[in-house]
């Protein structure tokens, strides 16, 4: 097998308070790999560290956050040893990101054409006619009609679905090798969401880029992803190919997440709910962070943090239940 495009090893990103007295372990020992052309889903609840993981890859963390350990290998280079200048050449060119709310990620004062052209001007040094042509081509690529007119318009003149497609066009403008999409469709209607997901799949087939989908929606994972990483309280509790996750979930949290979803096709009388609340990261329980809510928890789960066990082909989980096997 060839070397993976992205290889994250034991990444740890902590938030440290100003006096250094309080430490919040937002990402704690996350490892995964991603090959060219693959799509990975990162699933978890709010505060589970999905977004901090992706921001760590781009090194766009808020000032209080520190990457305290681990390695991020992207295309044979460790991103954590790069200087800020070198990182700038990676962001927007090699690795790009689509955020949740397109109204927040587009600048209301500049035209669409200007904003799509920006990464091309900066990273590719394109100017004039060739730049205009490329912007038009990109707009056509994300199925926006009459690009000549649209590129002179401003974000407020577009609907939510169109804005998100424009953000997508900016994301792929420099033909990146990795696209990180952070809840890209949460603010969209269902039919628009379906259109957008299809569009992203098309773009991926055409360009062979790798994608990371950050979402709390298991449905998006089922539809889009080749493999899945499930996060809980900053830890990666399970990772596996997508069918393995759905057919044989190994971690009780993954199992509960799958069962807590109402099904479209057949009627369930009562949903299986996970009791309790997601934990407070600044005040984690000892042992496995899921143990207070886990129906299968044993004494040991409350005392010691489980290591990662391999339970199948490319299937890993952090749960004491797998120790004996």
Binding site for another protein (CB under 8 A): 45-46, 159, 161-162, 189-195, 198, 216-220, 222-223, 242-243, 246, 256-257, 260-265, 267-268, 270-275, 277-278, 293
State which H helix or E strand residue 140 sits in.
helix 128-141
Quote the least distance from Cβ 56 to another protein, whole Å: 22
Closest distance of CB 92 from another protein, Å: 28
Nearer to another protein, 174 or 261 (CB): 261
Q: Which is nearer to another protein, 16 or 222 (CB)?
A: 222
Identify which of residues 64 and 194 has a Cβ nearer to another protein in the complex: 194
Check: CB of residue 106 under 8 Å from CB of residue 167: yes
Q: Which residues, including other chains, have CB under 8 Å from residue 204's CB and lie 6 or more apart?
A: 37, 39, 211
CB of 257 to another protein, least distance (A): 6
Rounded to 5 degrees, φ, ψ at 197 are -65, -40
Smallest separation (angstroms) from another protein to the CB of 293 = 8
**174/192 with CB nearer another protein:** 192
* Dist. CA 217–CA 215, nearest whole Å: 5
Least distance from another protein to the Cβ atom of residue 40, Å: 14
Check if the beta carbon of residue 297 is closer than 8 Å to that of residue 288.
yes
Rounded to whole angstroms, how far apart are CA atoms 80 and 58?
9
Residues of the chain by 3-state class (helix, strand, coil), percent to 5? 40, 25, 40
60 vs 205 by CB, closer to another protein? 205
Q: Distance (Å, rounded) from C-alpha 89 to C-alpha 87? A: 5
């Amino acid at each position: 097998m060839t070397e993976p495009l992205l290889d994250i090893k034991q990444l740890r990103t902590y938030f440290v308070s100003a006096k250094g007295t309080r430490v919040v372990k937002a990402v704690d020992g996350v490892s995964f790999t991603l090959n060219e052309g693959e799509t990975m889903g990162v699933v978890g609840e709010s505060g589970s560290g999905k977004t901090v993981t992706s921001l760590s890859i781009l090194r766009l963390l808020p000032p209080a956050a520190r990457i305290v350990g681990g390695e991020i290998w992207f295309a044979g280079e460790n991103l954590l040893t790069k200087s800020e200048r070198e990182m700038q050449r990676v962001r927007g060119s090699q690795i790009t990101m689509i955020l949740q709310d397109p109204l927040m990620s587009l600048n209301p004062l500049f035209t669409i054409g200007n904003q799509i052209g920006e990464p091309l001007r900066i990273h590719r040094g394109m100017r004039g006619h060739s730049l205009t042509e490329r912007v038009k081509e990109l707009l056509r690529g994300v199925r926006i009609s009459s690009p000549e007119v649209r590129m002179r318009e401003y974000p407020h003149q577009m609907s939510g679905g169109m804005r998100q497609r424009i953000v997508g066009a900016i994301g792929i403008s420099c033909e990146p090798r990795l696209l990180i999409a952070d809840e890209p469709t949460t603010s969209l209607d269902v039919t628009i969401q379906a259109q957008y997901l299809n569009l992203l799949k098309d773009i991926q087939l055409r360009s062979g880029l790798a994608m990371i989908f950050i979402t709390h929606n298991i449905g998006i994972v089922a539809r889009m992803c080749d493999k899945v990483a499930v996060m809980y309280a900053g830890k990666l509790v399970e990772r596996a190919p997508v069918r393995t996750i759905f057919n044989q979930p190994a971690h009780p949290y993954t199992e509960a997440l799958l069962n807590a979803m109402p099904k479209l096709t057949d009627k369930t009388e009562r949903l299986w709910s996970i009791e309790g609340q997601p934990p407070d990261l600044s005040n984690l329980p000892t042992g496995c962070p899921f143990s207070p809510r886990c129906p299968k928890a044993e004494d040991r789960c409350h005392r010691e943090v489980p290591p990662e066990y391999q339970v199948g082909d490319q299937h890993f989980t952090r749960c004491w239940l797998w120790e004996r096997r």
